[in-house]
Amino acid sequence: MNRKNLEFKVSKLEKLLYRQKVCSAPKNTFNISTPFFIFIDLVIGMTIGFFIGYITDSYLKTTPFFTFSLCILGFLGSLLNIYKNLYNTF
């Protein structure tokens, strides 16, 4: 191989690597509807946790232990879901 041929192949490889790096870069997924989806996700998670906890407390005739704990668990699950959606992880 001569020098020009080698330089051409190296430059071609550098362009390919640059294109791969640019295409695989994480994209900013925040748009105008993101706060709405964050709000809905939090409300739905806490509401489902509240109702399941309320039904469990009514069935077991306990204090609002399950209502409170499952509402908190729904909130934490919603936060995890928001994190996954915003940062495309897991």
Burial of 22 (0-12, 13-18, 19+ CB in 10 A): exposed
Dihedral angle sign, alpha carbons of residues 25, 31, 34, 35: positive
55 with 47: CB under 8 angstroms? no
What pLDDT does 59 receive? 93
pTM value surpassing 0.85: no
| Domains of the chain: total | 1
Q: Which domain holds residue 77?
A: 3-87
pLDDT tens-digit series, residues 10-50: 888 888 877 776 565 555 556 777 888 889 999 999 999 99
pLDDT tens-digit series, residues 51-89: 999 999 999 998 899 999 999 999 999 999 988 888 775
